[in-house]
Amino acid sequence: MPSVSGTDLISQTTDKTIRRTTIVAAVAILVKLYNVPVEDSAVLNVKLPGSLIDTSLFVVVVYSAYTLLVNWLGDLLAFRMWYRESSIWSQFGTNMKLDKDFISGGIPLLQRLHALEKAQSWPVDYRSLDNDTKNQFQDFKTNVELFSVRLEHAGTRFRTLSAYGHYYVWIHSFVLPMALCVVAVFLLVTRGSVALPVTR
């Protein structure tokens, strides 16, 4: 099952429902398209009328579509929540959190520069800075450059994954199986003998 950043796009429950729905709808479609004779089918030596077979297929297809809809809606909410996660995954699989720890990385440097300005001992140029401040500045500058490159790569990767994720969640997991169900229901109603039980 496809996953992004370790998170499954579709739950196992929905995945199983998709398979079951697809199989049931495909069987109903093939039975009606190829005019498979279902009249007087026997189950455990009991003859069943064709209308019972068609009606049973109709009920199973509709129930499968309903179950898929319920499970898929829950997965759709989870899929949308995935976009709100505040993390970036690099091409190496490492995780960078965009939280206060990352943002506060330059605070010690800013405090040091503020102290120099307040003490009116601001250096004439970069070379006049003390080694400790130079190291802090260089470390922070390097981190920002690395993060910028990683952010650009992550943005490109995210757009690709986003397109794939939307296709998998919307088209593969919902539109295709539901379309099969609609076709199956249409064929069962128009070519079959779906009927309500007769009460006497």
Give the CA-trace dihedral at 80, 81, 82, 84, to 10 degrees: 110
Rounded Cα gap, residues 110 and 12, in angstroms = 49
Give the CA-trace dihedral at 154, 158, 159, 164, to 10 degrees: 150
Every domain of the chain and the residues it spans: 8-190
Both structure tokens of 191: 């070519």
Question: pLDDT by residue (tens digit) across 24-62?
Answer: 999 999 999 988 877 666 665 666 666 778 888 999 999
Question: pLDDT by residue (tens digit) across 149-165?
Answer: 666 655 555 565 677 77
What is the predicted pLDDT for the residue at 91? 43
Rounded Cα gap, residues 94 and 167, in angstroms = 26
48: three-class secondary structure by DSSP: strand
A 10 A CB-CB count for 161 gives 17
Closest CA to 68 of 15, 135, 142: 15
Closest CA to 158 of 67, 85, 97: 85
What is the predicted pLDDT for the residue at 155? 54
C-alpha separations of 129 from 112, 121, 124, 139, 188 in Å: 11, 10, 8, 15, 83
Question: pLDDT by residue (tens digit) across 69-114?
Answer: 999 999 888 877 765 544 444 444 455 555 455 556 667 777 777 7
Instruction: Give residue 96's Cα distance to chain centre.
Output: 21
What is the predicted pLDDT for the residue at 134? 77
Q: Give the pLDDT mean for 128-140.
A: 76
For residue 78, the one-letter residue type is A
From the number of C-beta atoms within 10 Å of its C-beta (0-12, 13-18, 19+), residue 117 rates as exposed
Mean pLDDT, the chain, as a whole number?
76
What is the predicted pLDDT for the residue at 5? 57
Helix axes 176-190, 50-82, angle to 10 degrees: 160
Task: Determine contact, residues 123/129, Cβ cutoff 8 Å.
Answer: yes
Rounded Cα gap, residues 106 and 112, in angstroms = 10
41: three-class secondary structure by DSSP: strand
